[in-house]
Chain A
């Protein structure tokens, strides 16, 4: 399956896309996506139910979160009540170590995103803060990257043996499907996705 693992909807302060329009866009443009993940900034949307849209468009729509740590931004897949109770998702000063360990404890997985980006990418902080234990997957292809940002992420993954995922980081409808992740197994739920990522069943792909 091919899933775009990093997108924002109007629920994020800086995004303007409605979820239904993402679905329409994927269908109209015949994008090679089987689904996508909504990873809203500094929050987890535990309310919205996209099952009708999934049925209507034949897409898998999953929910995650993008939180902010001292090492930059981190996607968290598999958010549940336990994890939401373990740290403040709205904080911009989370500890990456805490996010990684609490995600692991709660059956989720934390994936540093756009790690080659200045200030909000993990690699920018290695010199000052040192490397981090517990990372197994990073976002190597981000649709919003500029210049060498994705190259830095790919080099980082190669150097440290991380698996890579891809996501568009779409904030407007027409930006979905720029990057995605190929997963060999069937994904029908966030638990399926977390299982795949934990086992390294993921390959970043670019359509830009």
Chain B
């Protein structure tokens, strides 16, 4: 059920996880919108030639996916800050899992802090971060 009030949230609450679409067509759509038309994002062969395991998801797309996780949980949430660390490449056409959990709550400002992770199929954290969200 979607959350829209600070009072509905509990410390430790898990956001509903989802598997984002990071298929090649979706990544191409992103790179065109963001004007990041580089082979390492959109061409598996070219990426492999430069030493990557395959085409990789742009870091800011991963960050956008994590923001979408928050909006799916709380459609009216206002993200005030989102900070992500790109620990390792996330390969295009894979099936990662996107998770979030509430790890701090400030009753006065009505801001919650959320831990965010994007893990690959092996369960390894590829992108992690935090967000400050006002509800």
- Assess whether B38 is interfacial by the CB under 8 Å rule: no
Which residues of B lie under 8 Å from residue A24 when comparing CB positions?
11-12, 103-104
Cβ–Cβ contact B124 & A21, under 8 A: no
**Interface residues as binary, A12-39 with B (CB distance below 8 Å gives 1, 0 otherwise):** 0010111001001100110000000000
Which residues of B lie under 8 Å from residue A28 when comparing CB positions?
11-12
The docked-state distance in angstroms from the alpha carbon of A96 to that of B124 is: 29
- Assess whether A160 is interfacial by the CB under 8 Å rule: no
**Interface residues as binary, B82-119 with A (CB distance below 8 Å gives 1, 0 otherwise):** 01010010000000000001011000000001010100
Among the listed B12, B83, B88, B101, which residue makes an inter-chain contact with A16, where contact means beta carbons less than 8 Å apart?
Answer: B83
The docked-state distance in angstroms from the alpha carbon of A67 to that of B106 is: 33
Cβ–Cβ contact A14 & B85, under 8 A: yes
Say how far A25's CB is from chain B's closest CB, in angstroms: 6
Among the listed B88, B103, B117, which residue makes an inter-chain contact with A21, where contact means beta carbons less than 8 Å apart?
Answer: B103
- Assess whether B63 is interfacial by the CB under 8 Å rule: no
Instruction: Using A172-B128, A174-B117 as known contacts, list a sample of 12 further A-B pairs with CB atoms less than 8 Å apart, ordered by residue number in A.
Output: A14-B85, A16-B83, A16-B115, A16-B129, A18-B104, A21-B104, A24-B11, A24-B12, A147-B124, A172-B115, A172-B130, A174-B101
A173 and B128 in contact (CB under 8 A), knowing A14-B85, A16-B83, A28-B12? no
Say how far B97's CB is from chain A's closest CB, in angstroms: 14
Among the listed B85, B88, B115, B124, which residue makes an inter-chain contact with A173, where contact means beta carbons less than 8 Å apart?
Answer: B115
Interface extent on A, as a size class? 10 to 19
Which residues A141-186 have CB closer than 8 A to chain B? 144, 146-147, 171-175
The docked-state distance in angstroms from the alpha carbon of A24 to that of B112 is: 14
What 10 pairs between A and B have smallest CB-CB spacing? A173-B103, A28-B12, A174-B115, A16-B130, A172-B115, A21-B104, A174-B101, A146-B124, A21-B103, A173-B115
The docked-state distance in angstroms from the alpha carbon of A146 to that of B12 is: 25
* Chain B at the A interface: SS class: strand
Which residues of B lie under 8 Å from residue A173 when comparing CB positions?
103-104, 115
Say how far B117's CB is from chain A's closest CB, in angstroms: 8
The docked-state distance in angstroms from the alpha carbon of A16 to that of B116 is: 11
The docked-state distance in angstroms from the alpha carbon of A28 to that of B115 is: 15
Among the listed B103, B124, B129, which residue makes an inter-chain contact with A25, where contact means beta carbons less than 8 Å apart?
Answer: B103
Which residues B58-98 have CB closer than 8 A to chain A? 83, 85, 88
Closest to B120 in A: A146
Say how far A196's CB is from chain B's closest CB, in angstroms: 30
Q: Which among A21, A24, A172, A175 has the greatest number of chain B C-beta atoms within 10 A?
A: A172
Say how far B78's CB is from chain A's closest CB, in angstroms: 19
